Amino acid sequence: MGLLRFARNDMRGITVVEVLVAVALFGFLIVSIAWIFLTSWKSNSIVWEQLATQNEGRKATQDFVNELRTASASSGGAYAIESAATSSIVFYSNIDADTFKERVRYFLSGATLKKGVIKPTGDPFVYNPANEIITEVAHDVAMAGAPIFTYYNANFSGYSSPLPAPVTTTMIRVVNISLKLEEDPHLSPAPFNIESKVMIRNLKDN
């Protein structure tokens, strides 16, 4: 009887150990699957966010090119380009197909490229800064001190050196816009670079 009782107790102990091992393995499997799922979801989320950032940057660049290409004197008679710096530019262009020229300002604020638009009012026409409507056109801009805008004169041949700062606006004939976009420098894919040059039609010398 003593031997039989010992055997039964031993079998009962082994069964409990096996159950504990099975539960532990099952728990490890669940945790592993959850970790893989979360990692995959986070990775896919970053990729989609980066793609959204890239598409936003492409649209901002194309809009800038289209608007600056048709820049001309303001409705009040001011020169087509009001100011030009490495991270901002102000010019006049009819961007909404009405009869007036809007004052358009592109500028970097933190990691966001913004666009400010002022419609002329009054008689004679004036551009009241209080009426400026600002929108965010590109996010996650990571220039690290590199210029967004560079400027070239009438001698630009594709390989010319840009105009030195401070830029004389009346010398500008071609503007280059360059955006480096990065959703997350620690997690996202390699930075996405967008670059485009635009010749201002109404300022051509020939």
Cα–Cα nearest to 195, from 150, 144, 137, 159: 150
How many domains in the chain?
1
Question: Residue 183 — pLDDT band, cuts 50, 70, 90?
Answer: low
The pair of three-digit structure tokens given for residue 140, joined into one six-digit string: 């996650």
Cα–Cα nearest to 177, from 205, 202, 200, 204: 200
pTM of the model: 0.76
- Would you say residue 38 lies in a domain? no
Percent of the chain at pLDDT > 90 equals: 60
Contact 150, 160 (CB under 8 A): no
- Would you say residue 159 lies in a domain? yes
The larger pLDDT score, comparing residue 68 to residue 25, is at: 68
The reported pLDDT for the residue numbered 206 is 58
9 vs 63: CA distance, rounded Å: 81
- Would you say residue 7 lies in a domain? no
- Would you say residue 6 lies in a domain? no
- Would you say residue 8 lies in a domain? no
Percent of the chain at pLDDT > 70 equals: 79
Question: Residue 36 — pLDDT band, cuts 50, 70, 90?
Answer: low
51 vs 156: CA distance, rounded Å: 33
Average pLDDT, the chain: 85
- Would you say residue 37 lies in a domain? no
- Would you say residue 29 lies in a domain? no
155 vs 40: CA distance, rounded Å: 51
CA contacts within 13 A on the Cβ side of 7 = 4
| Least reliable range by pLDDT among 13-27, 124-138, 189-203 | 13-27
The reported pLDDT for the residue numbered 43 is 53
pLDDT tens per residue across span 46-76? 666 677 778 899 999 999 999 999 999 999 9
Cα–Cα nearest to 200, from 64, 60, 58: 64
Structural domain boundaries enclosing 78 = 47-203
The residues near 4 (Cβ < 8 Å, ≥ 6 apart) are none
Average pLDDT over residues 78-88: 97
Query: DSSP 3-state assignment of 40?
Result: helix
The pair of three-digit structure tokens given for residue 109, joined into one six-digit string: 């604020």
The larger pLDDT score, comparing residue 192 to residue 11, is at: 192
- Would you say residue 16 lies in a domain? no
The reported pLDDT for the residue numbered 144 is 86
pLDDT tens per residue across span 100-129? 999 999 999 999 999 999 999 999 999 999
Strand order of the sheet with strand 149-152? Answer: 149-152, 174-181, 192-199
What DSSP assignment string belongs to 144-158? Answer: TT--SEEEE-TT--S
The larger pLDDT score, comparing residue 101 to residue 43, is at: 101
pLDDT higher than 80, residue 29:
no
